[in-house]
Chains A and B, each alone.
Chain A
Amino acid sequence: MAETLYKLMLYGFLMVFFAGTYAILYAIGRFSGLPLLVRISYSFAIFQFLAGLGMVFSPYLDILWRAIILFSVFAYLFIPPVMWKVVVEMHRRHED
């Protein structure tokens, strides 16, 4: 049990940590016009996806929780690009 918990906590930590890193690098990359940084940010998107899958495949969680985490893992993939568009659009509308 202790090992299962340890892995779940670690995966949970890494999932959101990588999601945050993905968001930060993606935003900096887009703002600075650095495609390489944007591409690097995608690797963190994959890391967060994999960390989330680590939780999804844990036999300790039932089907509902696996589904919730799977949903979150997919949601985090799209949050940075979507939010970037929202922020840019907000600024563009104001400037117009």
Chain B
Amino acid sequence: MERLYESQKLALWYFWTAILLFGAQLLFGLLSAIQFINPDFLYGILNFMTNRMLHINAMVVWLLMGFIAGIYWFLPLETGREVVGIKLGKLAYFAFVGAVAVVVLVYLFKQFGSGDFFTLWFITEGREYIEAPRWADIGIVAVALIVAFNVIGTAVAARKITGIIGVLIVDLAFLFGLYLAGMFFTPNISVDQFWWWWVVHLWVEATWEVLVGVLMGWLLMHLLGTPRKIIEAWLYVEVMLVFGTGILGLGHHYYWIGTPEYWLGIGGFFSSLEPLPLVAMVIHAVYDAGVHKLKTVNRPALFWAFAQAFGNLFGAGVWGFMHTLPQINLFSHGTQMAAAHGHLAFFGAYVSANLALFYFALGKTRVKEGYILNGTPWKIAYIGMIIGIFGMVAALTVAGFAQTMIERATLGSTWEAFIQAQMHPWMEEAFKWRLLFGVIFFLSYVVLLYDLLTAGKRVEALKEAEVVG
């Protein structure tokens, strides 16, 4: 077993916190799914809006924590030295976890505010997907700044700025910079929404995609021994493609918030190009899989890495393109179609990446060199989660189709049309199927948790039993 840097120990704290928050995300998602079928369920105790808010915010936070864990895991390996501000990093971890706990408790027990500055600062900003109160927003930026400081400081101290670290530093600048766009208001709703999209779409789609590219690059180098030159060359190509299509692709949202009409053409054109880099990435994943014949000491990490490449293509590419053209989006925007796309895209691009990283770290901490981190539970969790997410996405797609056709295209987007669509059998049935597959996904998470808690230990016990036998 390798000796761990303090930074890697910190990474493990982040990983475990992330995986527990993943469970919380699923739990609140399940409650929301039940409330789609039975709106009276827990009404007045734990309302739908609270569950949905916690479901989404827990997802953002746990994925971010997983990424930070990935940075702290690989940074000392990349630079060959301990991270410079490790104490600051640990302090930031406790501040982050403490802040998350306080915010969740406030969401659970307070829920409402009067819409004044006290509410804005201490309860919720009230902006969909980025509801965190202002003090927590500042905390997130501070944590991102500390991570950036540690990356830059460590690279400078080690006198080693590799291509991967260079991309990471630039990306981290955008990571805390873009988040600032969600922290101010303007009286003009169009301008306000303009900045809101920068966080909701650009922060997540551009900066996270590049960050995942960096982390998966490191992972492939250490997991499969993929040469650095290839990883770095591919990373530059990916950054160029993702930013080249993603930044202006954001314009397909602008049309709906009252910006000039030219955004319709710009956004639609670049959005339609967004699947191109995803298709290209899949080619490389297949090549890597073929070169290594799926042989590695850590199969779960490898399989989750492949799930990342393919999931990204299907979630972001296929389900994204289906309703990205403005002429279609005019009717489907904000329907369950968007939920279907969002669920699969996040699972493919980010959840799979985080789980690959987590298994890789486990392989280095639990299993002696040469042992294969393999077993049955991870396979059950892997297959179960993929079936669960595709089932949920299929159900939401059916619901999205029905909502788009009935509520928007046929009945004209009135409140009555919304109610009629919600009561249509295609939507009612779809919500039940979504809950069923949500339960499958949650049970698979329980198996995953069991595997993460015991992986390696079981192998060791088996080996010892064999020796004794």
A contact residues vs B (CB 8 Å cutoff): 1-2, 5-6, 8-9, 12-13, 15-17, 19-20, 23-24, 26-28, 31-32, 55, 60-61, 64-65, 68-69, 72, 75-76, 79-80, 83-84, 86-88, 90-91, 93-94
Contact = CB atoms under 8 A, between A and B. Distances in A.
Main secondary structure of the interface of B (DSSP, over half): helix
B325 A65 contact: yes
Contacts of A27: 282-283, 286-287, 290
6 contacts: A16-B321, A20-B278, A27-B282, A65-B327, A87-B284, A90-B234
A28 B286 contact: yes
A69 B272 contact: yes
B276 interface: yes
Band of interface residues on B: 35 or more
Contacts of A72: 272-273, 276
Nearest to A4: B409
B268 interface: yes
Nearest to B313: A20
B331 interface: yes
A8 B318 contact: no
A90 to B, nearest CB: 5
A84 B404 CA distance: 38
B240 to A, nearest CB: 13
Nearest to A32: B290
A20 B325 CA distance: 19
A53 B271 CA distance: 18
B409 A2 contact: yes
A65 B409 CA distance: 20
B164 to A, nearest CB: 16
B271 to A, nearest CB: 10
Contacts of B275: 16, 19-20
B260 to A, nearest CB: 16
B317 A61 contact: no
A91 B283 contact: no
Contacts of A5: 328, 331-332, 404-405, 409
Given A23-B279, A79-B279, A68 B314 contact: no
B322 interface: yes
A23 B325 contact: no
A12 B321 contact: yes
A27 B337 CA distance: 30
A22 B89 CA distance: 45
B404 A87 contact: no
Nearest to A18: B318
Nearest to A25: B286
B279 A68 contact: no
B325 A6 contact: no
A88 B282 CA distance: 14
A28 B290 contact: yes
A24 B285 CA distance: 9
A31 B215 CA distance: 26
Given A12-B325, A27-B287, 7 more contacts: A17-B318, A20-B279, A31-B286, A61-B327, A80-B283, A87-B284, A93-B229
A37 B351 CA distance: 31
